[in-house]
Structure 1
Amino acid sequence: MISLVTIGTVLNYLARSSLSVAAPTLKHAFDMSTQEYSWVVGAFQAAYTVMQPVAGYVLDLVGLRLGFALFAVGWSVANMLHGLASGWPMLAFFRGLLGLTEAAAIPAGLKTVTEWFPPRERTVATGWFNIGASIGAMIAPPIVVTCIALWGWRSAFVVTGGLGLIWAGLWYVLYRSPTEHGGVGEAERAHILGDRPIVSAEAPIGWRAVLFTRDFWSIAIPRFLADPAWQTFSFFIPLYLVEVKGMDLKGIAAFAWLPFLAADAGALLGGYYAPWLMRVFGTSLIGSRKIVVATGAMLMIGPACIGLTVSPGAAIALFCIGGFAHQMLSGALITLAADLFDERVVATATGLAGSAAWIGGLSFSLIIGALADTIGYPPLFVCLAVFDLIGTAVLWTLLRRPRAEVQGA
């Protein structure tokens, strides 16, 4: 099941990453400035931000099987429509449609983890499905550049969108919860469900049960501060390498995927890091998540130094450290929603925290669009590290719930 979610996440991020790879071509085709490009990016981010809590609520309401399939069909069609754009305003409109439908990916992934894994194993499972984000971004450069070279830029969106339609059908046919899956024996089902807290059926659910809690803000604020890094890496690495470091499209196809390969390693090692801390040092469930986040935040000092580099290779190396660091800390922050909230509202909680994250990402993307051509990128890269260090301090200060510690015992 986690493999199925991972493939879906790959295709989700392949669709959204297609724009950044095609950005140099589209800027020329539509005569776009960097600020106009940031508005196109912002249309996606604004729609994604608004829709995440709605998508999470829909998934909690109708279930993963139907809900995730419908959203996957939606994002695939929206991505294919990009090929009809005749200017940057129309491109921004289609980008907004993509944001509305892609918003279900992370809430659906974490809801799957919550349904299929006990608390101690959730960071590992989250790490595996979270690599889909970086794999999708990693394979986008060669796929999109090849499509542009062979059939023109419009084909890149049709191809990447069409793959999502195939996956949507597979998800609907194959997905079942552990209580419904015929291949799950009683021993395995007991392992999955055995160490979860018993929650009263009368316990409050819905967005109010999530939003008005200290637990929620302990993860929402760090995610608000962390996500600008991933949005910057996803949407601006190719543009930065072309405009500042002088790389061409062939160079982008050859090397721009490396930071996302490093991000895969960060997602996986971060996932295994938390249970290792628990096993070797006796760290509590929540404490292990905090240490993972702190480690990733310290590593973000690497990409803060990109402005000191001269060669494209050195810049890419520091982007790799940033990709590794961000996915390490991001996986722990995302998993905390499953640790802190009942599974009936976990997608809602993830969606609400995701909205906070994307508000941060959208705001910073617009700042890049407004300032990159005047002050340059280096000061903005420094901000990314500062944000994560502040977010770590907030997490350690706010998250102090004994109940959450006991849940993973």
Structure 2
Amino acid sequence: MTLSHSARTRWVIALLMLFTAINFADKSIIGLVAAPMMADLGLTVTEYGAISSAFYLLFSISAVVFGFLGNRVPGRWLLVGLAVVWSVAQLPVAIPAAGFGVLLATRILLGAGEGPGVPLGMHVAFTWVAEHKRAFTAALLTVGSGLGVIVGAPLLNALIEVAGWRSPFLVLGVTGLIWVVAWLLIGGDGPYSVASPAADAAVAAEPRIPYRRLLTTGTWLGTLFSGFAVYWGLVLGISYLPLYLTEVAGYSRSSIGFLASLPAYVSIVFMLGGGALAGRLLRRGTSRRLAQGVLGGVFALVSGLSMILLTRVDGGATMLILPLIALGFGIGNAQTPLSQAAVADTVPARQRGAALGVWYAVVSIASIIAPVLSGAIVDAAGDRATGFGIVFDLAGVLAVLGGLVAMVTVRPDRDAARLGLGGAETSRAAAGRA
């Protein structure tokens, strides 16, 4: 059966959403298994933080390397390679004898495979859609991260209770291999790809701009800082929120799967709503500064304020705590697709993979620092409640600053004009539709 272009586009975007969902399920599993794993292996919070941070040891380097490869190698095969690495990295943890060393090594390998996943997935997705659809398409893919938590957290948590903390690693490894088969059957690069014959002339007409100029625009630097701040909070939600909810907030183990997925619900709503609103604003002629920079900055600002308030609410005030958890660790992620679309709008198509890869690599450095630093803060604080209060305050302040910076500095229209990219995207889009 031969799919029409529109049908195949929908299938490809759906598979890329699933790709992102598996990516985030792989990341989030470490938080869900934290308590039973620490008890079984006798780990301190600092040691657990080291395992969480190990995931990001090669994450950034890999994102940069594959970002530049994405300028030259078809995304179809790069994504296959990454998904295979994810799957192979998860399987050894399921072995009963696997201890701290195996966990450390496999998390490093997993991070090396997943580091380029999101930016490369975005890069491939952008080859299937026109410019004005990028924000919503990026939102759809980022929704995959929320689905990975919403669907994965309760199921994996139930699996942990039934079959032990090692069992989810086996399930996720097999799921990744199934995705590879589906992608080989349907996936690939779209008509807006730089490798598309129809787009060759338009892409060739674009200037090749030195990376020192591309990576020093206000838009790139502004989204970089705000993205770093948002990612700091995101990794805390993945690594420490389940632990905080059980050991400080006093929630039962059986409720953690649902509570840990609350931010994902908020994330999906605001990612879809934010992406749709940004697309509508752009179609009406609104500046990208408002549609991407200011709107994304508001999401980060609300996230930061919610994290700051979280530990100041009475533990018994569930009706206040739950919205703060959901907003604090969920709404900030809605800024990410707007930031990625803003970066994509200020670079030539043939340099987009590298620009997104470098951006994601620097942003994800937050994921290396946050778990280890947070674990050390909690251990040094004397009691968990005080420690987590400091940890969430730090994350909240970073997010607030990130939101304010984005509102002021993210100006894709101005930066694209300064780089001489005005009108290039329109020509390329026309060639892609030809």
Structure 2: which amino acid aligns with 1:124?
A: F
Question: 2:63 is aligned with what amino acid?
Answer: Q
Show the counterpart of 1:106. Answer: 118
1:110–1:335 CA contact under 8 A, matched in 2: no
Corresponding position: 1:359 with 2:365: yes
Change (3 A) 1:215 1:142: closer
Cα distance, 1:359 vs structure 2: 1.1
**CA gap 1:175/1:286 in 2 versus in 1, 3 angstroms:** farther
Pair 296,34 (structure 1): closer, same or farther in 2 beyond 3 Å: same
Give the one of 136, 145, 155 matched to 1:143: 155
Instruction: Indicate how the Cα distance of structure 1 residues 207 and 99 shifts in structure 2: closer, same or farther if over 3 A, else same.
Output: farther
Residue 259 (1) aligns with residue 263 (2) = yes
For 2:400 and 2:192, how far apart are their aligned partners in 1?
A: 43
Match of 2:299 among 271, 296, 299: 296
Q: 1:83 aligns with which of 84, 94, 107?
A: 94
Shift of 1:93: 1.2
Native 8 Å contact 1:221 1:356 kept in 2: no
Contact 1:245 1:312 in 2 (8 A): no
Query: Is the alpha carbon distance of 1:41 and 1:10 closer, same or farther for their aligned partners in structure 2, counting shifts above 3 Å?
Result: same
For 1:376, what is the secondary structure of its paired residue?
Answer: helix
C-alpha root-mean-square deviation of aligned residues, in Å?
Answer: 2.7
Deviations 1:363-394 (A, max 9, x none): 12222111123142123222223212322343
The answer on whether the counterparts of 2:59 and 2:361 sit within 8 Å (CA) in structure 1 is: yes
User: Residue type of the partner of 1:137?
Assistant: V
Partner of 1:38: helix, strand, or coil?
Answer: helix
- SS of equivalent residue, structure 2 residue 55: helix
Q: 1:305 aligns with which of 309, 312, 325?
A: 309
* Contact 2:297-2:335 at 8 Å conserved across structures: yes
- Quote the offset at 1:257 in angstroms: 1.3
SS of the residue corresponding to residue 71 of structure 2 reads: helix
Q: 2:28 aligns with which of 17, 27, 30?
A: 17
Asked whether the equivalents of residues 106 and 350 of structure 1 are also in contact (C-alpha less than 8 Å), the reply is no
Q: Tell me by how many angstroms 1:127 deviates.
A: 0.7
How far the C-alpha of 1:201 sits from its partner, in A, is 5.5
1:166 to 160, 178, 202: 178
Aligned twin of 1:237: 241
- State whether residues 21 and 145 of structure 2, in contact with CA within 8 Å, keep that contact through their aligned partners in structure 1: yes
User: Which whole-Å CA distance do the structure 2 matches of 1:356 and 1:137 have between them?
Assistant: 24
Query: In 2 relative to 1, CA 404–198 (structure 1 residues): closer, same or farther, beyond 3 Å?
Result: farther
After superposition, the C-alpha distances for 1:197-224 in whole angstroms (9 at most, x for unaligned) are 9444684378667445554323222222
Contact 1:229–1:361 (CA under 8 A) maintained in structure 2: no
The offset of 1:29, in angstroms, is 0.7
Q: Which amino acid aligns with 1:288?
A: A
Aligned-partner residue type, residue 204 of structure 1:
R
1:36-51 aligned within 5 A: 36-51=47-62
The answer to whether the aligner puts 1:370 opposite 2:376 as a matched pair is yes
Distance change (3 Å), C-alpha of 1:278 and 1:387:
same
Match of 1:34 in 2: 45
Q: Is the 8 A contact 1:302 1:318 kept in 2?
A: yes
Q: In 2, Cα distance between the equivalents of 1:30 and 1:87? A: 7
State the Cα distance separating 1:295 from its structure 2 match: 1.5
**1:322 maps to what in 2?**
328
Change (3 A) 1:38 1:169: same
1:254 & 1:51 partners in 2: Cα distance? 32
Contact kept, 8 Å, 1:206 with 1:348, in 2: the verdict is no
AA in 1 matched with 2:156: V
Give the whole-Å Cα distance in 2 for the aligned partners of 1:383 and 1:49.
Answer: 22
CA contact (8 A) 1:237 1:256 kept: yes
Q: SS state of the match for residue 188, structure 2?
A: coil
> Aligned pair in 2 of structure 1 residues 242, 340: CA closer, same or farther (>3 Å)?
same
Cα distance in 1 for partners of 2:51, 2:401 equals: 29
2:132 is aligned with 1:120: yes
* Maintained 8 Å contact 2:86/2:114: yes
> Aligned-pair distance for 1:129?
0.7
> AA paired with 1:18?
I
When normalised by structure 2's length, the TM-score is 0.84
Looking at structure 1, the residues matched to 374 and 52 of structure 2 have their Cα atoms a distance apart, in angstroms, of 11
One-letter amino acid of the counterpart of residue 402, structure 1: R
Question: Does structure 2 conserve the Cα–Cα contact (< 8 Å) formed by 1:110 and 1:338?
Answer: no
Percent of paired sites with the same residue: 24
AA matched with 1:317: P
Counterpart Cα distance in 2 of 1:287 and 1:199: 28
- Change in Cα spacing, 1:12 to 1:39, as seen in structure 2 (3 Å) is same
Query: Is residue 205–residue 344 contact of structure 1 (8 Å, CA) maintained in 2?
Result: no
Give the TM-score, by structure 1 length: 0.89
Q: Check the 8 A contact 1:294/1:392 in 2, yes or no.
A: yes
Q: Is the 8 A contact 1:35 1:369 kept in 2?
A: yes
Which 5+ residue runs of structure 2 have no aligned equivalent? 1-11, 427-434
User: Structure 1 residues 312 and 201, CA, compared in 2 at 3 Å: closer, same or farther?
Assistant: farther
| Residue 271 of structure 1: aligned partner | 275
Is the 2:160–2:168 contact (alpha carbons within 8 Å) kept by the matching residues of 1? Answer: yes
Q: Alignment partner for residue 71 of structure 2, among 47, 60, 73? A: 60
**Greater Cα offset, 211-220 or 386-395:** 211-220
Measure, in 2, the Cα distance between the counterparts of 1:202 and 1:288.
Answer: 25
Matching residue of 1:345: 351
| Cα distance in 2, alignment partners of residues 308 and 148 from structure 1 | 31
The CA distance in 2 between the partners of 1:73 and 1:42, in whole Å, is: 22
Once the two structures are overlaid, the 10-residue window that deviates more, 138-147 or 357-366, is 138-147
Distance 2:280 2:357 in 1: 28
Match of 1:224 in 2: 228
